[in-house]
């Protein structure tokens, strides 16, 4: 099959990592993927190294910063141009199927309809607000998708309000955990104090990803144990750099800067995870299926996540990880507190976590499910 993939960014966060894995396995199975991105970046560079064809067309990605009159005019104009360019590309390249790897890329729907091609959405998001936008985007997906891949049951349940269940398949992300193994850590680079417990989070800086809540958790945990160091990893979307200033101001106000290290964007994720004693992903809105949780579990880390979204499917509370409330730092600190001093419990939980990702979220299962689904869609 000649498959046109449309994706919203050229970073290397979760959805981009899964796209790269999908493209690698399609190429291995004899298919010919063609990827269109809006801009060059780490993902496009990785694709070129894999000899996967990539083109650049401004796709009119839907982001909150465009939710104003001028922004909407800009998006409509960009989408119109993208539709014409992609239509021409589909004809030139004899495309068989269009695969939109996020709900933020809607132009594929129009192109598939115009070219009479099958269209698949791979949904990595749970879109709840603003309500008018969530309603429109879900109606558009329902009308223009031959099939929808949901990354978790949480995503499927959310989409089922708008889309018939028979059109949605849950396919959990899978990683090649053997390729992720590493003995490197950053203790020397960061000059970490040997008597300190290291707690970290890795996520794109965004209000719902929970960096501010992570700071609240740190304040509450430091009341129980002072020998703690907290590491934050991740950058913000261009134009949202002000979020860094807000986080730094909060740390200053609370007097916590001496306990925090902010690394910004990093590619050496496994070395960072190996440095941590505890990994926390304190998302304050449902996180569909965070790839970084799989990575942390594969490193045998005690993973702590708010009790919502895909984390409820990835982690069994107090067996392979810990669930905490999403809006109560003091209560969350009480739940986390026993794990601050008991390394034996942390190690045992980390081992169970590693066993779970190998059993339930393997690359083999992901590849099998994706390949079977695409074959069925193409043949019908």
pLDDT per residue of the chain (380 residues) written in tens, 0 to 9: 999 999 999 999 999 999 999 999 999 999 999 999 999 999 999 999 999 999 999 999 988 788 888 988 999 999 999 999 999 999 999 999 999 999 999 999 999 999 999 999 999 999 998 898 899 999 999 999 999 999 999 999 999 999 999 999 999 999 998 888 788 899 999 999 999 999 999 999 999 999 999 999 999 999 999 999 999 999 998 888 899 999 999 999 999 999 999 999 999 999 999 999 999 999 999 999 999 999 999 999 999 999 999 999 999 999 999 999 999 999 999 999 999 999 999 999 999 999 999 999 999 999 999 999 999 998 87
Q: Are 79 and 188 members of one domain?
A: no
Q: In what order do the strands lie in the sheet with 147-150?
A: 53-56, 32-37, 2-6, 97-100, 118-123, 147-150, 168-170
Burial of 223 (0-12, 13-18, 19+ CB in 10 A): exposed
CA 66 – CA 47 distance, rounded (Å): 29
Q: Are 79 and 149 members of one domain?
A: yes
Q: Are 324 and 239 members of one domain?
A: yes
Q: Are 85 and 227 members of one domain?
A: no
Helix (H, G, I), strand (E, B) or coil at 179: helix
CA 293 – CA 369 distance, rounded (Å): 21
Q: Are 168 and 184 members of one domain?
A: no
Q: Are 170 and 302 members of one domain?
A: no
Helix (H, G, I), strand (E, B) or coil at 74: helix
Q: Are 233 and 294 members of one domain?
A: yes
Six-digit token pair at 321?
């990880």
Q: Are 44 and 97 members of one domain?
A: yes
Residue 201 · residue 280 · CB < 8 Å: yes
Domain holding 73: CATH number?
3.40.50.2000
Q: Are 119 and 90 members of one domain?
A: yes
How far is the CA of 222 from the CAs of 142, 196, 262, in angstroms? Answer: 47, 11, 18
Burial of 172 (0-12, 13-18, 19+ CB in 10 A): buried
Six-digit token pair at 58?
């401004």
Phi-psi region of 46 (alpha: psi -120 to 50; beta: other; left: phi over 0): alpha
Task: Print the domain residue range for 50.
Answer: 2-174+362-379
Helix (H, G, I), strand (E, B) or coil at 257: helix
Domains in the chain, number: 2
Q: Are 32 and 149 members of one domain?
A: yes
Q: Are 35 and 164 members of one domain?
A: yes
């Amino acid at each position: 099959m000649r498959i046109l993939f449309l994706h919203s960014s050229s970073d290397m966060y979760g959805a981009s990592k899964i796209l790269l894995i999908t493209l690698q396995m399609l190429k291995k199975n004899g298919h010919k993927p063609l990827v269109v991105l809006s801009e060059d970046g780490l993902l496009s560079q990785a694709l070129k190294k894999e000899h996967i064809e990539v083109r650049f067309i401004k796709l009119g990605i839907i982001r909150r910063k465009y939710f104003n009159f001028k922004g909407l005019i800009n998006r409509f104009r960009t989408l119109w141009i993208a539709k014409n360019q992609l239509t021409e590309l589909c004809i030139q390249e004899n495309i068989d199927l269009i695969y939109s790897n996020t709900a933020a890329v809607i132009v594929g729907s129009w192109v598939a309809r115009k070219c009479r091609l099958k269209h698949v959405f791979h949904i990595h998001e749970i879109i709840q607000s603003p309500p008018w936008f969530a309603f429109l985007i879900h109606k558009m997906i329902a009308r223009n998708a031959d099939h929808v891949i949901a990354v978790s049951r949480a995503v499927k349940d959310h989409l089922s309000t708008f889309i018939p269940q028979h059109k949605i398949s849950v396919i959990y992300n899978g990683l090649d955990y053997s390729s992720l193994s590493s003995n490197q850590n950053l203790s020397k680079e960061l000059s970490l104090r040997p008597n300190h417990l290291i707690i970290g989070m890795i996520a794109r800086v965004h209000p719902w990803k929970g960096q501010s809540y992570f700071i609240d958790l740190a304040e509450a945990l430091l009341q129980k144990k002072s020998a703690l160091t907290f590491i934050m990893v991740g950058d913000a979307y261009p134009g949202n750099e002000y979020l860094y200033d807000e986080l730094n101001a909060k740390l200053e106000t609370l007097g916590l800067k001496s306990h925090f290290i902010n690394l910004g964007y990093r590619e050496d994720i496994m070395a960072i995870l190996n440095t941590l004693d505890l990994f926390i992903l304190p998302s304050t809105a449902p996180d569909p299926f965070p790839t970084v949780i799989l990575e942390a579990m594969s490193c045998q880390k005690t993973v702590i996540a708010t009790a919502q979204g895909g984390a409820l499917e990835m982690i069994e509370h107090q067996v392979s990880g810990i669930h905490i409330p999403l809006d109560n730092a003091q209560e969350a600190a009480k739940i986390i507190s026993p794990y601050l001093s008991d390394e034996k419990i942390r190690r045992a939980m980390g081992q169970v976590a590693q066993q779970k990702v190998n059993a339930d979220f393997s690359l083999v299962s992901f590849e099998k499910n994706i390949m079977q689904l695409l074959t069925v869609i193409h043949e019908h």
